[in-house]
Amino acid sequence: VLIRTWPSSSNKYYAFRRFEVFDQDGGLVAEALSTWVILDVARRRMKAMTQEVRDLRAHGQIKDAPRDPNPKKIARLDTYVHEKGITARRSDLDRNGHVNNTVLTGWLLEAIPQDVYEAGALASAEVSFRAECLAHEKVSSQCSPSQTGLEPETSFLHTIIRNRDGKELIRAETRFAHS
């Protein structure tokens, strides 16, 4: 497996990084675009990108812009069909004391019905991180089938809600391909 990654563009508040994954024959098997921000930890607010980051593309250090620097908006999940309660553990935390984004993304799958989870494979996920989760916080992972009408695929809208204040931590849409 070969993974290529590079900074692809930026604006005042966001920097975008592109990823490509190739198999042993050189075939492209996955692509991803991540969005990065600078956070003022003391004020808990985003800060403008540094000029150094914004200038990376201008200096020719990268070769192309992302396909979609403004990812689609994920619909809000207003009512859910499936729910799983989760408590953040110490092992879920990153060095800043927040639940790691990979862990949060995994929590989305906890609400997927067992029959869907066993019958297929996760084919795609659009994820929007909206707020932090700290150690020992209790959350609710919720999902409902989305109205795509695609078969043999199953799509879900997701949200993870922090129990103590009802704050939405993550919003996502997943698609499962049946095997």
Beta bridge partners of 3: 21
Q: CB–CB of 162/137 below 8 Å?
A: yes
Do residues 169 and 133 touch, judged by C-beta distance below 8 A? yes
List, for residues 105-152, the tens digit of each pLDDT value: 999 999 998 988 888 788 888 898 899 999 999 999 999 998 655 554
Number of CB atoms found within 10 A of residue 159's CB: 24
Residue-wise pLDDT tens digits, 16-75: 888 999 988 888 988 888 888 887 877 777 788 888 777 776 444 444 544 445 557 888
Residue 145 structure tokens:
């089938």
Report the alpha-carbon distance of residue 9 to residue 171 in Å, rounded: 24
